[in-house]
Amino acid sequence: MATETIVKLGAPGGEPITTDLEGWRVVEGKPTMKTWVQHKSADGSMISGTWEATPGSWHATYARYEFVHIIRGRITITPDGGTPVQVGPGDAFAVEPGFTGVWRIEEAVQKHFAIKLA
C-alpha cells in the first residue's frame, strides 16, 4: 500500500474539537477554541490542522513541539517571566516543549499548526 507523500489541507470541515487544549486554562475573559486535526502522519508522530480562538487569555503549558502559521487575527504570547511576543497574519513561529506562559487572543484568530507527538 502506497503512502501519500503530499497531503494538501483544505478548509477545516466536520465537527471540531471544542474543549480547551490539554495544559491550557482560561485566565481572562471567556475565550473559546476549536481544533480540527486534518492530518496525522503515517507513523503517528505528527498531527497538523487548523485552530481557531476567540478573544481572551489562556495560561498554556507545552509538552510538545509545535509549528504555527497565523492565518488571521492577533495574539500576544508572554512566556512566564519573559518578554511578550506579538504575532499576526502571515507570521510563523515555533513553540518548544517546556514553554509556559499566557496566550492573549487580541483578535479572533485562525492558525495552521503542526505538532510533534513522538
> Domain map of the chain by residue range?
24-116
CA 98 to chain CA centroid, nearest Å:
15
Q: Name 31's Cβ contacts closer than 8 Å, sequence gap at least 6.
A: 53, 54, 55, 56, 57, 58, 105
Q: Is the pLDDT of residue 4 over 90?
A: no
Report pTM.
Answer: 0.92
Q: How far is CA 86 from the centre of its chain?
A: 15
CATH 2.40.40.20 describes domain 24-116: no
Give the model confidence (pLDDT) of 58-96 as tens digits: 999 999 999 999 999 999 999 999 999 999 999 999 999
